[in-house]
């Protein structure tokens, strides 16, 4: 296959998937040097380590999440990042909050500020949703689990943030009471969250 054919195939993949991973090229038998050439020519832009896209694409708000997701298969977006993902906070966190297993190594990403939360097996694995974003799976906690986590880590993020998320989710009918209690039990915050739940309208 000629270089121009490889380049055409790589650009077609970028157009189809919005975000192109360098590993995808290897899987398709396309030499990685094609990425360097297309980037130098301005036909692709590098948006993260091993991540490329067309220069005129519509920019995803979750681009930083895409980079983390490709580098941490065990990680789950949590706390402020999950609240932002679910549109439950007005804050725009400058850090990406990621939950990982107790003994796992956090991903090394120099371009982002990562806040790592280590969770036990049950607390880590419960309540995960997978959303496809630009062809990449984004693992994030569901709303009820995120709220329970916010109460558990209230000293890190602030009780006001946890209360705002609880009230906003309840007002918007985005959570069921039984699922909230389920995750409160897993996160061991039943006693802490009870008075706030009982005061909901």
Q: Are residues 82 and 9 in the same domain?
A: no
Look at residue 156 and tell me if it is in a domain: yes
The burial class, CB within 10 Å (0-12 / 13-18 / 19+), for 197 is middle
Q: Name the residue range of residue 193's domain.
A: 63-198
- pLDDT tens digits for range 173-188: 999 999 999 999 999 9
pLDDT at 60: 58
d(CA 130, CA 95): 21
Q: Are residues 12 and 35 in the same domain?
A: yes
Q: Are residues 166 and 72 in the same domain?
A: yes
Helix residue ranges, H only, the chain: 3-17, 22-27, 33-40, 63-71, 79-85, 121-125, 143-152, 154-157, 159-171, 177-186, 190-198
Beta bridge mates, 97: 115
- pLDDT tens digits for range 38-49: 888 888 888 777
The mean pLDDT value for 135-147 works out to 94
Q: Are residues 30 and 92 in the same domain?
A: no
Look at residue 22 and tell me if it is in a domain: yes
Beta bridge mates, 138: 131
What six digits make up the tokens of 129? 């949703």
Number of domains the chain contains: 2
Q: Are residues 8 and 69 in the same domain?
A: no
pLDDT at 59: 53
Q: Are residues 124 and 187 in the same domain?
A: yes
Look at residue 85 and tell me if it is in a domain: yes
Check residues 1 and 95 and name the one with the higher pLDDT. 95
Q: Are residues 135 and 184 in the same domain?
A: yes
Q: Are residues 188 and 95 in the same domain?
A: yes
- pLDDT tens digits for range 86-108: 999 877 667 899 999 998 999 88
End-to-end Cα separation, the chain, in angstroms: 66
Q: Are residues 71 and 136 in the same domain?
A: yes
């Amino acid at each position: 296959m000629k270089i121009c054919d490889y380049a055409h195939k790589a650009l077609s993949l970028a157009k189809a998937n919005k975000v192109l991973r360098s590993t995808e090229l290897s899987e398709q038998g396309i030499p990685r040097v094609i990425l360097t050439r297309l980037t130098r020519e301005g036909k692709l832009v590098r948006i993260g380590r091993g991540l490329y896209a067309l220069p005129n694409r519509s920019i995803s708000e979750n681009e930083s999440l895409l980079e983390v997701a490709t580098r941490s298969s065990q990680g789950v977006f949590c706390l402020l990042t999950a609240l932002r993902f679910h549109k439950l906070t007005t804050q725009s966190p400058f850090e990406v909050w990621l939950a990982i297993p107790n003994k796992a190594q956090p991903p090394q990403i120099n371009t982002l500020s990562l806040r790592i939360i280590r969770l036990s097996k049950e607390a880590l694995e419960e309540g995960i949703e997978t959303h496809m974003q630009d062809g990449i799976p984004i693992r994030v906690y569901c709303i009820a689990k995120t709220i329970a986590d916010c109460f558990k880590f209230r000293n890190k993020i602030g009780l006001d943030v946890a209360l705002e998320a609880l009230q906003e989710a309840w007002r918007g009918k985005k959570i069921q009471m039984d699922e909230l209690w389920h995750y409160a039990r897993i996160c061991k915050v039943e006693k802490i969250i009870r008075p706030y739940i009982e005061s909901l309208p």
